[in-house]
Structure formats: structure tokens, C-alpha cells
Amino acid sequence: MTAGEPAGTGAIDGDVRLPPDDTGEALDLPASGLTLTFGFGPSLFRDAEGRDRFGLADRQPEALRDLPHFPGDILDPARSGGDLCIQACADDPQVAVHAVRNLARLGFGTVSVRWSQLGFGRTSTTSTSQSTPRNLFGFKDGTANVKAEETAALDEHVWVGDDDPRAGWLVGGSYLVARRINMTIEVWDRQPLGDQEAFVGRTKGTGAPLSGGEEMSEPDFDMPGSNDQPVIATDAHVRVVHPDVHGGARMLRRGYNFVDGSNALGGLDAGLFFIAYVRDPGTHFVPVQLAMSKSDALVEYLEFTGSALFAVPPGVGPGEHVGQSLFA
């Protein structure tokens, strides 16, 4: 499918007496840059009582544990957790949906879809060749994201190394953190521009920090502002999550916007489907989320409704299958 080929024989070339091997909605469409990423959740190794489900418990990495319940979380169990995950990305959403649909169909009787989320418009830049996109609050998002060109930073913050405890089969892979974040769009839209920028700590137009410069300029958290307060407020998002206050920890963010219609009050059921890849969720994600939950001004306009953590194995080489290093 990533090469633009059908799943199996195809949608129209099989036995007319049997269901087709491909559902057909991607017929005549190009591959559209489709990529597929797979991950394994903690519950694949042990159930809620700690029982070994499939004889894999002794291969569960030490860092692969359910994320804690953070202050302010209002998680929907039906949109959280899971044994397996598939992330399908493509320039055409129909191609991405086709891929997930056909993989789920092929697994019928063995697996079923627990939950899914369709996202659009990436919300972070992952390469120096890309411009920084905007989230649904209208602000540039992911300015300080780890870039593909930063190979040393990727090794330090994203890829699991052979010195990680019980890494084993996961060496060269990563951990995928998924958080479904609803934004109270209508409430945000009624806030003055100055307040919006103060909450984020950046200008809405250029994305530059309020301390001055351009988008990529480092924020000056010591620069004084009015009323004996710093120009970048102590609860501004950019300050609360900055690597300098988290031991230098960074993430490779690959989030997307989402709009799932309207809620019962007539507001948009919309927000950020936050996805991040980290070397260790315990050091690279949990402390940052805790800090946000406790002191980030943006949290007043956010609701965390879904959460999951998965271990993503290294990429598949010729003749290999997904997770071969785990299941061998």
C-alpha cells in the first residue's frame, strides 16, 4: 500500500464469489506519500491484573507502562490505551483511511479497532525545510521541535539506545505518546489578542518569543516586563514546557489538528491530536505534562480526553515483518 499497490489481489481482480482482497476506495489514487507506523501497548504484554497474555511479559521494556493520570485529565476510556496502534500518514486522507481500514479488515477475528482519530494539517515542523504550521488556536506550533537534520539530538531524545533498561528488541525504535486534546475553541476566540499571546509566550503573527527576535530566537525568560513581571509570564506555555526547565529533554512531535463535528452545546469538538516520539516517556514526556497540568496558562482552554503509550519497533527491512525482533 505504501507503494500504491492494493492490499492483496485487489478490489476487482479476485474471485467474484468471494469478498475482494481490497476495499477499493483508493483505486486510481497514487500512494500519496503513505507511511505506516506500528506500536505495541503495555496491555499487549500484561493485562490489568498483571497476567502474561501472550508469553511476552519478560520482553516488556521497563519504560512501557501506562501513562499516569495527570491533574485535569478527563480521559474517555473508549479513546485511551490499546494493545496495538497504527499511524497512517498520507497527503490524501482517503489513502490513509484506506490503509487502516484494510489492515483492520485483514485482522478480523483476531483484532478489532478500539478507537481511532482522523487528523489533518500537521501541527509541528519535523525538518528545517518546512515552515512551522499552526494549530486551531491560530499559533505556530512545534517551533522548537527536534528536526530530522539533528541526528545527534535524535539519538539523544528519540531513538532507544542499547543502554536503555530492558530495551532489547526496541533498540533503534522509540516510544509513541498519544494525547487527544480538546480545545475550547469558542472560549479562546473571545480572548483579547494580547492575552492569547501572553498565554502562549509568543506573538501570533511571526511566532517570535515575546522577548523579541524572530520565530527561532531563543526566549529570554529573564527579560523584565511591566509591573515587575517578566515579559514572558511565569505561566506562559513556552516557559513551562521549555527544555531548559526539564533537564534539556526534547520530543519529536508529529501532532495533527482534528475537528469531529460539534458537541451537545453546539461548539466544535475540535483540538490537537498530540503525538510525540521520545526515547523515554518517564524523562521526556511525563515531567513536561505534569508541569503543564499544574502551571500552564493554556490548560484553562484545553481538555485532555484521550491518552495512550506505545513502543514502536525499528523500521522493517526487506524480508522482515513488523516487530520481528519482539516476536522472534
What is the rounded average pLDDT of the residues 79-89? 97
What was the pLDDT predicted at 13?
Answer: 87
294 within domain boundaries: yes
Q: How far apart are CA 98 and CA 104, in angstroms?
A: 10
Confidence of residue 163 (pLDDT cuts 50, 70, 90): confident
User: Which domain covers residue 32, as residue numbers?
Assistant: 1-61+81-114
Contact 285, 276 (CB under 8 A): yes
Q: Answer whether residue 258 is part of any domain.
A: yes
Same domain, 260 and 196: yes
Residue 9 confidence (pLDDT) above 90:
no
For 104-142, the pLDDT digits (tens) are 999 999 999 999 999 999 888 889 899 999 999 999 998
8 Å CB contact between 288 and 246: yes
Q: Which of 313, 317, 321, 251 is nearest to 39 (CA)?
A: 313
- The answer, yes or no, to whether residue 25 has pLDDT greater than 80, is yes
Q: Give pLDDT, residue 165.
A: 72
Closest CA to 251 of 199, 174, 311, 316: 174
Give residue 24's pLDDT. 95
Query: 62 and 165 in contact (C-beta within 8 Å)?
Result: yes
Rounded Cα distance, 157 and 178, in Å: 17
Q: Give CA–CA dist 132/135, Å, rounded.
A: 10
Residue 43 lies in a domain: yes
| Residue at 101 is within a domain | yes
Answering whether pTM is above 0.85, one says yes
Query: Is 45 inside any structural domain?
Result: yes
92 and 139 share a domain? Answer: no
Residue 173 CA to residue 315 CA, distance in Å, equals 8
pLDDT category of residue 20 using cuts at 50, 70 and 90 = very high
Cβ atoms of 256 and 119 within 8 Å: the answer is: yes
Q: What is the pLDDT of residue 167?
A: 78
Who's near 32: CB < 8 A, 6+ residues apart? 90, 91, 92, 95, 96
Q: Which of 9-23, 146-160, 267-281 has the lowest mean pLDDT?
A: 9-23
pLDDT at 8: 86
Based on the fold, state whether residues 222 and 128 are members of the same structural domain.
yes
Q: Are residues 98 and 43 in the same domain?
A: yes
- Is the distance from CB of 251 to CB of 276 less than 8 angstroms? yes
Q: Please choose, from the candidates 225, 243, 137, the residue with its C-alpha nearest in 3D space to the C-alpha of residue 234.
A: 225
CA distance readout (Å), 271 to 178, 186, 199, 234: 13, 12, 17, 24
The verdict on 1 and 29 lying in the same domain is: yes
What is the H or E stretch that residue 187 is in?
helix 185-188
Indicate whether 140 and 267 sit together in one domain. yes
**Does 286 lie in the same domain as 142?**
yes
User: Three cell numbers at 282?
Assistant: 518517564
Same domain, 17 and 156: no
pLDDT at site 228: 85
Q: 47 and 150 in one domain?
A: no
Are residues 129 and 232 located together in one domain of the fold?
yes
d(CA 70, CA 112): 28
pLDDT for residue 164 is more than 80: no
Average pLDDT over all residues of the chain: 95
**Is the residue at 328 inside a domain?**
no
Nearest to 204 by CA among 125, 292, 129, 134: 134
Assess contact for 11 and 22: CB atoms under 8 A: yes
Look at residue 323 in the predicted model and tell me its pLDDT: 93
Same domain, yes or no: 125 and 102: no
Q: How many domains does the chain have?
A: 2
- 208-224: average pLDDT: 96
Is 327 a member of any domain? no
The answer on 137 and 16 residing in a single domain is no
Q: Does residue 100 form part of some domain?
A: yes
